[in-house]
Chain A
Amino acid sequence: MLISVKDEIRIISAGGDRMIMKKRINSLLRYSLFGLAAIMSTAGCGKMTAKEPVTVTIWHVYGGQAESPLNDMIAHFNETVGKEKNIQVQVGSVSNTNTIHENVLSSAFGDPGAEELPDMFVSYPKTVLAMPDETVLVDYNDYFTDEELSGFVAPFLTEGQINGRQLILPVAKSTEIMFVNETAFDRYAKESGATLSDLETWEGVFRLAKDYTEWTDEQTPDIPGDGKPFFVHDYHFNYFQVGVESLGEQFFTEDGTALAFGPAFDRVWAPYADAAIRGGVWLQGGYATEPLRTGDSIVSVASSASVLYYSNTVTYADNTTEKVNIISMPCPVFEKGEKLVMQRGAGICTVKSTPDREKACMTFLKWLTDPERNVEFVTQLGYMPVKKESFETYLPDAISGLQDPMYQSLYEAYMKTQGEYTFYTAPQYDAYLDLETRFEDMVRQKLQLARRSFAEDPEQSPEELVKATLENFRRDYQQ
């Protein structure tokens, strides 16, 4: 059917309108799409919020059961640099060197009930050597530039190198120091004529040890045989190792799998065993701080870092307390031996994980080992810093600023040691840990038996008992 003209004209005239309408419809469609896109794009918007921090964990030994300066420093890091770089360091454990060693190995071996290894942990080389797979640890060469590493005292770095990889980053170094309850010593010295200079040699220490035991026994005439030990050593193994080496002899065999037991060993054994058999040396387990804390001993040799754990209060068995003065002296040496002293101090290992976590750990460690901060850290704990600039620029001022007399005395002894002694670093033998553990357990046990035997029969010849005990010990140890 044809459309009418009017319709056609209307269509024609509507054609113009149609064109306009088409344009309007197209515009409408364009605006609608644009509006929809704008609305949908706002769905993807939101305010910028803070990212979750990267949290890394650390096990350390700096503080033990007392105040923990490292915990305080970590808290400071978290509030400052950590917040800025979105890092939080969390302390997973604060223990002691023996405990952390066991726990790290337990975790590394995946023992049932063992915690997962933290991101960072304090370690000695012996711990790393005992791990089943040291490749789980970060090589610090990958994160520290040559320039950064050259800032460390070179031997400290070397100690942390295992199989060519820098696995332990030094953060604090210690040595062995003699701690003396000067108040109790003066009481004894007043009556015996002993002097502190007698404690400069091992011979003097053990001589006084025998005398002190008798003197304390005499203080309670109605209680026979209750003389107290004079001296306690944290690590008997170190006494023997450094003693033998200071007398010019090797302590270990060439291959490091056993002890040499040469003539120097006998020389080191004799005065020590003699004093121990007579009751002058503390032979029970535990750290040297314990008997000094209870007044059961008055002279000890321990790590300089033990200063944090010594207390200037002695609590006796009757609950009376006494404020005492604890002073420090350089470690005794043999009269004809070299002035040699053990250098210790753990470093920090980092466990491989994600790039973010490893980077976070490095940020913290670089912060902690900053020369000035390293001095601030170590002087709260009785350690020495590990950076050259720390020694040259910041340590002298820090020492002069120490308020605690115990710390003042410690650092005086430390500086004297550094000036007059040669530091001895224990060798990194695979069997070192085993040799050390067996030695510590066995020597105490053998001497305790000998002591008991002598106490029961004081008529025995101490010299022969000393020799017999040595033979007994050597035979059983070498089995």
Chain B
Amino acid sequence: MGRLFHKISYSLRHWNEVGVSMQRKLTLYFVCMVLIVFAAAVVLINTAGAMPGSERNLGEALTVQHQNTVSAMTKQIDILTARSISLSEEITRTMEQVLIQHGKAFQDANDDPQLILDLEDSLYGSLETVLRSNACSGAFFVLDATVNSKTENADTSRMGVYLRFSDLKAVGTANQHIVYFRGAADLARKKQIQMHNRWNLEFDTSQIPCYETLLKFNRSRLAEGAVWTERFRLRDTWEDVTLLCVPVLDQNGVPCGICGVELSQLYFVLSYPAAESRFGNMVTLLAPAEGKKYDLSKAMVGNAAGTYLKSYGLMEIRNGKYYQTATTEAARYLGLATPLEARFSSGQTPMVLTLLPEDSYEQASLKYRQLWFLGTALFLILILLLAGGVSGHFSAPIVRSLKALQQGETEENGVHKGIRSGISEIDALVSFLQSRSQELKTGELPPEIDTMLREFTSRIDRLTPAETQIFRMFMDGCDVQTAAERSFVSVATVRKHNTSINRKLEVSNREELMLYIDLFRRCGRLEELTELTDKLL
């Protein structure tokens, strides 16, 4: 590694001495410039968080979806709460009228099937209106009276009516079918409403989590009594629901029942479809939070199409910079959580969550990285080609000019043929060199060159015969290996002779030696060397 580093740094330090071609150097300069600008742009984009597929992008996408969901859910909860409160008030008023007509108090409803039937009949219309006009899957009221206080389950059996939609739609329509889940059978037949396959005459209040609590309600405002149950299974059915319950007061302000609306899990799925994004599908949840933990079996889970999110198991949330990470037993999700302004009957805070599978994000990120890589690679190739083309176009005339000079092309009158490069400095140099070349051709060797060659020649007789033999082979163009074969000695021996030759002839290496030989050849004085070496052999 150190050796490599040394090589690189040595090469870089002696870059300019190498004599890299002009075109190559120009190409390199162009490419470096573009790369610097490109790198600067990447850093800028990255800093600004605009790089597609980044965590920041994901955070922004989640935030937008989450805010929309929170807003929609808050609105829905508000409407349902307002309607439930209004229903409660209407029940109080209507109940009072019916009781007055019967000349009875509410407590007299116990064991009075006719009174109970009349109460349910008179309240049916209000209940149906709530169901049909609002974003819910069911509506109900339960009053603290029973048709038969002597039955076995009289303690928890209470009158009331519970209407549900049998065919749920995300957008309610007038022709949705209502089924009669709880209430007097005669009323269902009178209203020509289909009875639920698991219909029962009265409610089992032990199945309603907040019933007993709400019967003890003692605040001044009904809104303070509005609570949501956690998700639970409607007995004998396949459906999970959450109920919004509001206390019902009698004319004296004493709690005498509850009323409210139902959101079924299926309805929640229809109301909150999975939101498609470039990072994957985002799922909506409404879950009770216990610190950082969520019990999904008590949560309402929206449409989870495109994910493996299940509505059971535990989920733990950890905060992050741009979003939170939610971990279940099977997978991890990325998302955001916001508390809702509502209450669960269990006392836990309802949280709205927007979650996206971590796998989906990683897939999307991978795709972006691959596109980025491909784009960058294509860009670089394009730049290289462009730089090569531009620099070639710039350097071509210059090279042609130098080449013509090198090849000594002359016109008919013996004057050098010049090719103009279009760059004044280059053209001036070429003209000078052309004239100099002319001078050299017509005259003898410059004295300095002559001296140099003579001094070299004088050192030849320092060589031993063996060294002279090797030198002659180098003159003939042999390399070390070939010289060893021809001399019937080892390569190491040839190398040893080579070292001695260099030392005695005062050259630094074999390349310099070969240059001298080449110079002798070019000056037409190679025979001098041949004669000298012949004498020594």
Contact = CB atoms under 8 A, between A and B. Distances in A.
Interface of A: 2, 4-5, 8-9, 12-22, 24-25, 27-28, 40-41, 43-44, 46-47, 49-53, 55, 57, 63-68, 71, 83, 88, 90-96, 99-100, 102-103, 111-115, 284-287, 289-290, 293-294, 296, 308-309, 311, 315, 317-321
Contact of A311 (B198, B270, B304): B198
B280 interface: yes
| Interface size band for B | 35 or more
Given A5-B452, A65-B198, A317-B184, A16 B511 contact: yes
B372 interface: yes
B57 interface: no
A36 B514 CA distance: 38
B173 interface: yes
A322 B449 CA distance: 130
B170 A16 contact: no
A13 B512 contact: yes
Interface string B402-433: 00000000000000000000000000000000
A102 to B, nearest CB: 8
A318 B148 contact: yes
A305 to B, nearest CB: 12
A320 B370 contact: no
B198 A88 contact: no
B197 A66 contact: yes
B357 A65 contact: no
Contacts of A318: 113, 147-148, 151
A93 B266 contact: yes
A149 B509 CA distance: 88
B170 to A, nearest CB: 7
Q: Which 5 A-B pairs have the closest CB atoms?
A: A16-B511, A5-B448, A55-B305, A46-B366, A68-B238
Contacts of A2: 436, 446
A123 B270 CA distance: 21
13 contacts: A4-B448, A16-B509, A16-B510, A21-B17, A44-B374, A53-B308, A55-B305, A71-B238, A95-B166, A95-B167, A99-B167, A113-B171, A293-B195
Given A50-B359, A317-B186, A319-B157, A64 B507 contact: no
B146 interface: yes
Interface stretch (B7-15, B58-66, B288-296): B7-15
B36 interface: no
Contacts of B10: 24
Interface in B172-191: 172-173, 175, 177, 179, 184-186, 188-189
Interface stretch (B199-207, B218-226, B468-476, B486-494): B199-207
Interface string B447-483: 0110110000000000000000000000000000000
Contacts of A50: 359
Contacts of A90: 269, 303-305
B7 to A, nearest CB: 6
A124 B113 CA distance: 42
A65 B179 CA distance: 10
Contact of A319 (B151, B199, B449, B515): B151
Contact of A66 (B166, B198, B507): B198
B327 to A, nearest CB: 16
B377 interface: yes
A478 to B, nearest CB: 26
B132 to A, nearest CB: 13
B11 A21 contact: yes
A381 to B, nearest CB: 13
Interface string B501-516: 0000001111110111
B52 interface: no
B363 A55 contact: no
A53 B306 contact: yes
B459 to A, nearest CB: 14
A445 to B, nearest CB: 12
Interface of B: 7-8, 10-12, 14-15, 17-20, 113, 146-148, 151, 157, 166-173, 175, 177, 179, 184-186, 188-189, 192, 194-202, 236-239, 266, 269-270, 280-281, 303-308, 357, 359-360, 362-363, 365-366, 369-370, 372-374, 376-377, 436, 446, 448-449, 451-452, 507-512, 514-516, 519
Contacts of B369: 43-44, 46
A289 B195 CA distance: 9
Given A319-B146, A320-B151, A88 B305 contact: yes
Contacts of A57: 305
Contacts of A319: 146-148, 151, 157, 201-202
A9 B363 contact: no
Nearest to A293: B199
Contacts of A95: 166-167
Contacts of A296: 185
B53 to A, nearest CB: 11
B238 A22 contact: no
Contacts of B306: 52-53, 55
Interface-centre pick from A15, A93, A290, A319 (highest chain B CB count, 10 A): A319
A349 B386 CA distance: 59
Contact of A44 (B194, B370, B436, B452): B370
A290 B7 contact: no
Given A21-B11, A49-B363, A65 B172 contact: no
Nearest to B173: A113
Given A5-B452, A52-B306, A317-B113, A113 B511 contact: no
B308 A88 contact: yes
A6 to B, nearest CB: 8
Contacts of A14: 17
Given A40-B377, A83-B308, A95-B166, A47 B201 contact: no
Interface-centre pick from A9, A65, A90 (highest chain B CB count, 10 A): A65
A201 B173 CA distance: 44
A290 B17 contact: no
A65 to B, nearest CB: 5
Contact of B507 (A13, A94, A289): A13
A230 to B, nearest CB: 17
Given A43-B372, A315-B201, A320-B148, A15 B515 contact: yes
B18 A18 contact: yes
B360 A47 contact: no
Contacts of A99: 166-167, 177
A19 B19 CA distance: 9
Contacts of B201: 315, 317, 319
Contacts of A94: 238, 266
Nearest to A28: B11
Contacts of B170: 115
A2 B507 CA distance: 23
B308 to A, nearest CB: 6
A103 B167 contact: yes
A294 B183 CA distance: 12
A49 B359 contact: yes
Contacts of A287: 194, 197
Contacts of A13: 507-509, 511-512, 515
A429 to B, nearest CB: 26
